[in-house]
Structure 1
Amino acid sequence: MPASFINTELRNETDTLKLILLGLTDDPELKPVIFHLFLIVYLVTVLGNLLIILAVSSDSHLHTPMYFFLSNLSFTDICLSTTTIPKMLVNIQKQNQSITYTECLYQIFFVLVFGTFENFLLAAMSYDRYVAICHPLRYTAIMNPCFCGLVILLSLFVSVADSLIHSLMVLHLSFCTDLKIPHFFCELAQVLKLSCSSTLINNILLYFLACILLAIPLSGIIFSYTQLVSTVLKIPSAGGKYKAFSTCGSHLLVILLFYGTSTGVYISSIFTHSSTKTAVASVMYIVVPQMLNPFIYSLRNRDIKMGLRKFIGKMSSFHYCVICDNSKIVKIHHS
């Protein structure tokens, strides 16, 4: 069948075209275990990050640039997990590994958007810690609300533009038979391998833009922490050094987790040709960091702990007031 005919069919019947997500295993006995495991992971991810967002928004003491970026990071983690995990859970439950072409495009687009956006957020948070420690007297002037909002909007704009370019380029590809993706979600690089038309331009754009969009934030992170460490080491007292390092310890752990897992997946994809091992490795950067981020910040950050206690206290008080009001209404009704 000519590629042009396949491409025309693809454009006219995108809703009927099916791709197969091979997932993490073919063993039917392991699939229920994976279902329950990922369901717990997803619920923990959503609940943990949602609590961070609610704690920051409800406590006026946390209305600072650092926690503004943190709440955006938590929102991004929820969105990134929601883009991939629910579809996998539905497929396991229905015992159906297929995904429509349209759904696959949506996954590609949103995974790229939120993955790139998280990359920029980590760089913005690094810059925030650099200004707070290296230029404390100018902190409020530099990290003003207008600047923070502009950083978020610009990062989101670049992330969406990058994702839109890749998604539109995929639309021009022709696909043949055997549309099997050795992942639990539609990863762009794996989808490109399924095309029976030339993907040279797609791959050039993929690696070129990936290098740029990775190099710029990573350079900012390295610069910020180099200056930060240099400044902290000049502090004479050990207590001052510890206090300075403790303010950025959680963020540094999140950075190591995000880039460490991404690098590990990239290296493993080079040295292994097993689709199952590649799919399992992809869990390390698309699932694990998003689940662990709220734990890292809540366990190591005193302000977040206090914010969570205040929020839980407010919710308990509200629940008590509702119960009291309901009991009064019942008494009045009976009387």
Structure 2
Amino acid sequence: METRNQTDVSEFFLLGLTDNPELQPLLFCLFLTMYLVTVLGNLLIILAISCDSHLHTPMYLFLSNLSFTDICMSTATIPKMLLNIQAQNQSITYAGCLTQMCFVLVFACWENFLLVTMAYDRYVAICHPLRYTVIMNPPLCGLLVLLSLFLSVVNALLLSLMVLRLSFCKDLEIPHFFCELAQVIKLACSDTLINNILLYFVGSLFGVVPFSGIIFSYAQIVSSVLRMPSAGAKLKAFSTCGSHLSMVSLFYGTGLGVYISSLAAGSSRKTAVASVMYGVVPQMMNPFIYSLRNRDMKGALRKLISGISFL
């Protein structure tokens, strides 16, 4: 097979979720709807938090940033997929593929770190309530958000720029609906050992460590709640964690499901279908989780929608 240097590669081909032309219009409508719901839902969350002074707290600061990452994550993948379906063209330029890959890595990693930060916020609120405002002060909250973004950008640039050292063959078809790093590395004809080692090392580091932090935080929370004498206090403490736990379960659960399916699936196309569960569904569901399970968020959304309707 003829080897081509990365500088000679002009485009890749995103095969998408299916090659059945009859299903393409259905997929277009489905993903367009999911994208609009994701953007509008998360935008409402951001506006509601911005407009309601009662929600100017660390927890909602992190939530607004999480909603922003959800919008960006979906925007990095779905519009290109919709454009390809409409144009009946599966191509994406080499530069476009690397850019998309980098943005997906940035926002997926940032969401991961934000979930850990939100777990720490809940830990301080429940285990150290009297010192909450002192510990979770505005400078620290801002620093946590910026640090999460910085680490995410460094991670994404490192993994994406390492792809530049690879040479590719003629077969540049990606059995996915976006440029996923692991799938792009599989297309390389040159030695990918360093890329794979780096991918698994960073994936383990930025996956296991944050998840362990969440587990530790909730272990401390459960221990503290069980020591509370009042059943009402216990219920209130657990209710403040319900939305975040649902988001954590959805994010890590779908990610683990995709990993398992990639090991068990007989084709990469099946893995692509499973990847919708972590690349699209959590971002769409997060606004519903917080708006349905959080009383303060419900009230803020009602005020926002009422204010918009009077304009």
Counterpart of 2:296 (choices 303, 326, 331) is 303
Q: Distance in 2 between matches of 1:140 and 1:88?
A: 44
Letter paired with 1:149: G
Deviation track 1:230-286 (CA, whole Å, cap 9, x = no partner) reads: 111111222111111001100000000000000000000001121221110000000
Q: Distance in 2 between matches of 1:48 and 1:316?
A: 17
Q: Aligned pairs, how many? A: 311
Q: Does 1:139 align with 2:132?
A: yes
Q: Distance in 1 between matches of 2:193 and 2:213?
A: 30
Partner of 2:280: 287
Q: Distance in 2 between matches of 1:192 and 1:249?
A: 38
Partner of 1:113: 106
Q: Distance in 2 between matches of 1:97 and 1:302?
A: 44
Q: Distance in 1 between matches of 2:231 and 2:138?
A: 33
Deviation track 1:10-29 (CA, whole Å, cap 9, x = no partner) reads: 32x55xx1211110011111
Deviation track 1:83-140 (CA, whole Å, cap 9, x = no partner) reads: 0000000000000111111110011100000000000000000000000000000000
Counterpart of 2:40 (choices 8, 23, 47) is 47
Counterpart of 2:70 (choices 69, 77, 81) is 77
1:59-74, aligned counterparts within 5 Å? Answer: 59-74=52-67
Q: Does 1:314 align with 2:286?
A: no
Q: Distance in 1 between matches of 2:249 and 2:267?
A: 26
Percent of pairs with identical residues: 71
Letter paired with 1:164: L
Report SS of the residue matched to 2:22.
Answer: coil
Shift of 1:2: 6.8
Partner of 1:102: 95
Report SS of the residue matched to 2:191.
Answer: coil
Q: Distance in 2 between matches of 1:86 and 1:273?
A: 28
Partner of 1:191: 184
Q: Distance in 2 between matches of 1:36 and 1:169?
A: 36
Deviation track 1:194-227 (CA, whole Å, cap 9, x = no partner) reads: 0000000000000001111112211110111000
Q: Does 1:86 align with 2:79?
A: yes
Q: Is the 2:262–2:268 contact (alpha carbons within 8 Å) kept by the matching residues of 1?
A: no
Q: Does 1:237 align with 2:268?
A: no
Report SS of the residue matched to 2:168.
Answer: coil
Counterpart of 1:37 (choices 30, 35, 38) is 30
Instruction: Give the TM-score normalised by the residue count of structure 2.
Output: 0.98
Counterpart of 1:173 (choices 160, 166, 179) is 166
Partner of 1:332: none
Partner of 2:248: 255
Shift of 1:172: 1.1
Report SS of the residue matched to 1:196.
Answer: coil
Counterpart of 2:144 (choices 151, 155, 174) is 151
Q: Distance in 1 between matches of 2:123 and 2:145?
A: 18
Letter paired with 1:235: M
Q: Distance in 2 between matches of 1:266 and 1:209?
A: 15
Q: Distance in 1 between matches of 2:187 and 2:85?
A: 23
Q: Does 1:24 align with 2:17?
A: yes
Q: Distance in 1 between matches of 2:95 and 2:266?
A: 28
Q: Does 1:204 align with 2:192?
A: no
Shift of 1:312: 1.6
Deviation track 1:302-331 (CA, whole Å, cap 9, x = no partner) reads: 0101111111222233x1xxxxxxxxxxxx
Letter paired with 1:143: M
Q: Is the 2:2–2:169 contact (alpha carbons within 8 Å) kept by the matching residues of 1?
A: no
Structure 2: 5+ residue stretches without partners? none
Report SS of the residue matched to 2:18.
Answer: coil
Instruction: Give the TM-score normalised by the residue count of structure 1.
Output: 0.91
Letter paired with 1:132: A
Q: Distance in 1 between matches of 2:113 and 2:138?
A: 17
| Root-mean-square deviation (Å) | 1.1
Letter paired with 1:226: A
Moved more, 308-317 or 149-158: 308-317
